[in-house]
Chains A and B, each alone.
Chain A
Amino acid sequence: MRTLKFLLQKEFRQIFRDPSILRIIFIMPVIQLIVLPWAADYEIKNIKLAVIDHDRSDYSRSLTNKITASGYFILTDYTSSFEKTLGEIEHDKADIILEIPASFEKNLVKENESKLFMAVNAINGVKAGLGSSYLRSIIQDYNQEVRTEWIQFPRFSPETNIEVTNSNWFNPSMNYKVFMVPGILVLLLTMVGANLTAINIVKEKEIGTIEQINVTPVKKFHFILGKLIPFWMLGLLVFTIGFGIAWIVYGIYPAGSFLTIYLFAAVYLLAVLGLGLLISTYANNQQQAMLISFFLMMIFVLMGGLYTSIDSMPGWAQAITKANPVSYFIEVIRMVVLKGSGLADIKYQLLTVLGFAVLLNGWAVVNYHKRS
């Protein structure tokens, strides 16, 4: 126990003397949480729309007005030549072309129906998909308006209408920040945990002090605890700072209990620290450690359900996410923060992450040799 005390004392002294670690601890959460949620917004806005109006009628104009008034579209062009407008898409000046045929109003009034043509630049699939569906629903809406206008009151409409109303649970305003910020917090914790630990130990390898420790009677177990405990505490500190920012800047306050979140975070950190430790047993220098953790980080982020929903991934990719500790915490933190889930609801994830912690730390301990 006394050995551990000396190891911890040394570690904390070094941490608080290292300006770069302090910078990472305080500046990283601030930047990540203040900047990233604004960029990671799925709502598509500012879609550049070119309208080709061959009709130039009251109806075609009021449709165009309705579209631009929605706020999602910017009318970049209003012409009557398809060729010219297609050029706009080719030069990236327009994302969507809406073509209104010459007989739009006439057909609508006389034959009760009319056709529109939509051309979408699908290079950015998300923008194309969402943009065209926004446009479709605005046109649908317009359609309804036109119909209501024409219905003569006592008569019933010959067609039945199904109207769907919906309500968004747990995130009523569909605010992406409420969804993203907790996820980014998880990433922050993962980076602090894995990177700092790995780099710290590998640095001792580089300067040779680890060999000096290996030649002392210090037990492997004590040495590893001496590294894990400080970074475990540091991780929880960063997490707390992160939650503070989420609350102050975005007003995000967990619906569930902090106790549940911190319990999970504490266990999760053990897994992540184990990963850092494991990396350090394989890497011989800081560049290697950085590259390995950078590579893993990319996979963790893109396959962790932060940006894209895991449910929409193909089966094999979903299987990979099962081996990604980040995916469990992102799921849990969203459940607790947004839905107010309790310990019983996250039991499965907690046990899984605990399993990761045991596995990764065990592997690292086995792979750490005092003697080569």
Chain B
Amino acid sequence: MSTDRVITAEHLSKRFGSFTAVDAISFDVYRGEIFGFLGANGAGKTTAMRMLSGLSMPTSGKASVAGFDVYKENEKIKQNIGYMSQKFSLYEDLTVKENIRFYAGIYGKSNQFIKEKTAVVLDRLHLTAEGDKLVKSLPLGWKQKLAFSVAIFHEPKIVFLDEPTGGVDPVTRREFWNMIYQAANAGITIFVTTHYMDEAEYCNRVSIMVDGRIDALDTPQQLKKTYGVATMDDVFLKLARKAVRSAD
């Protein structure tokens, strides 16, 4: 794994009025790694991710993504990242191909590139026959895999995935993680939030957020050793129990 830092955050905070959603978090993410971002509901994961992807203005602290400053160069960051939100965000009333074409197009990809890569992506997803079907007609698992493919279609340096496998069956979840591995092997840094602790085991490194702060950050093996437990589940429970903030 490289030591080339693609995301750095130093005391990054976000306050909404008197409520501190993200409380001075600091961490680095290295090129090509799968970085798991764990935490209970309401711990501040999504807010942190939104700050890094340029959707939310930090209140204080420093951060850079793909070498660009989150305060001033947020539009440059956007050219270099992919983002898949908790909400499913493809257009249901457009077909599979139209969605791909639209998102690739607004990232400035050429028609030639779009055409060739669409064929490859659809083939990989086994969706070639469904290319002209409306997205709303696809089952959820396929939609999520498609949304991920769209998020990395423009070949970003980093992709942010916010609970990408929520509500998806175990088989599809496994397939989804295979896709994540493929993307990571292709050099894309993966920044992923999840509630599934088996998925946490798949990550290179994991951070656990409690009440807006990062309480632990290490490889899954090291975390289990540190806390003297057998599974990531236990690590998470040990840390998350300390939370005073109620889940939303």
Contact = CB atoms under 8 A, between A and B. Distances in A.
B96 interface: no
Given A6-B101, A14-B93, A215 B57 contact: no
Contacts of B79: 217
A3 interface: yes
Contact of A207 (B53, B54, B55, B89): B89
B56 to A, nearest CB: 5
Interface in B9-53: 53
Given A208-B85, A211-B55, A216 B94 contact: no
Given A2-B108, A217-B75, A371-B57, A212 B94 contact: no
Interface of B: 53-57, 74-75, 78-79, 81, 83, 85, 87-94, 98, 101-103, 105-108
A14 B91 contact: yes
Nearest to A14: B93
B165 to A, nearest CB: 17
Interface string A13-24: 110011000000
A10 B57 contact: no
Contacts of A10: 91, 94, 98, 102
Main secondary structure of the interface of A (DSSP, over half): helix
A212 B93 contact: no
Contacts of A371: 54-57, 74
22 contacts: A3-B108, A5-B105, A13-B94, A14-B91, A17-B93, A207-B89, A208-B88, A209-B89, A211-B85, A211-B89, A212-B90, A215-B83, A216-B103, A216-B107, A217-B79, A217-B106, A217-B108, A218-B106, A370-B55, A371-B74, A372-B56, A372-B57
Contact of A217 (B56, B78, B85, B88): B78
Nearest to A212: B89
Given A13-B94, A215-B78, A208 B89 contact: yes
Given A2-B108, A10-B102, A13-B94, A216 B78 contact: yes
A196 to B, nearest CB: 15
Given A3-B106, A7-B106, A371-B55, A212 B83 contact: yes
B87 A208 contact: yes
Contact of A215 (B81, B91, B98, B105): B81
Given A13-B94, A371-B55, A6 B105 contact: yes
Contact of A2 (B88, B101, B105): B105
Contacts of B93: 13-14, 17-18
Interface string A200-230: 0000000111011111111000000000000
A211 B87 contact: yes
A10 B222 CA distance: 48
Contact of A216 (B92, B101, B106): B106
A18 B91 CA distance: 13
Contacts of A212: 83, 85, 89-90, 103
A216 B81 CA distance: 8
Contacts of A17: 93
Across the A-B interface, give the 3 residue pairs with the lowest CB-CB distance, nearest first. A208-B87, A6-B105, A212-B89
Given A6-B102, A10-B94, A14-B93, A215 B87 contact: no
Contacts of B74: 371
B102 A215 contact: no
Nearest to B84: A212
A67 to B, nearest CB: 63
Residue among B55, B85, B94, B106 with max Cβ neighbours from chain A (10 Å): B106
B197 to A, nearest CB: 26
A215 B106 contact: no
Given A2-B108, A211-B87, A216-B103, A14 B81 contact: no
Contacts of A284: none
